[in-house]
Amino acid sequence: MRAAILATVAAAVMILGALAWPAPADAAAAPCMTRAEFNRIHKGQSLAKVRAIVGASGTVQTDSQSPGYRYLSKSYRVCGSRYGSAMVAWTNHDTAGNPTGRLGVYAKAWSA
């Protein structure tokens, strides 16, 4: 049950993130993510690891918490793209819904 809910939430966030039409980025905007940085992000990586790869914190889109469960998603501006965005989602459960004890990358999406 928990795995189905988690999968549904992740799919919805990825679809909404890909469909979102962010405001045009200007030179003063926050740091951006390159495709090479995006490709270095893998399932299970921590928030700190992704921040070290990208060099930016990203913008929180979803931060859902309940006892023993957390789901967090952030969006990042795509370098060289006026409207592009990347999304990374973390959870403290694996794909089967079992607790992992720490927040790790669960899903990611790229839209340039």
User: Sorting pLDDT into bands at 50, 70 and 90, what band is 1?
Assistant: low
Burial classification of residue 93, based on how many CB atoms lie within 10 Å of its CB (0-12 exposed, 13-18 middle, 19 or more buried): buried
| pLDDT of amino acid 20 | 46
Strands 59-66 and 99-111: unpaired
In this predicted structure, the answer to whether residue 21 has a pLDDT above a threshold of 80 is no
Confidence of residue 4 (pLDDT cuts 50, 70, 90): low
pTM surpassing 0.85?
Answer: no
Which tens digit of pLDDT belongs to each residue from 38-72? Answer: 999 999 999 999 999 999 999 999 999 999 899 99
Q: Which of 96, 107, 109, 102 is nearest to 3 (CA)?
A: 96
Q: Which CATH architecture has domain 2-111?
A: 2-Layer Sandwich (3.30)
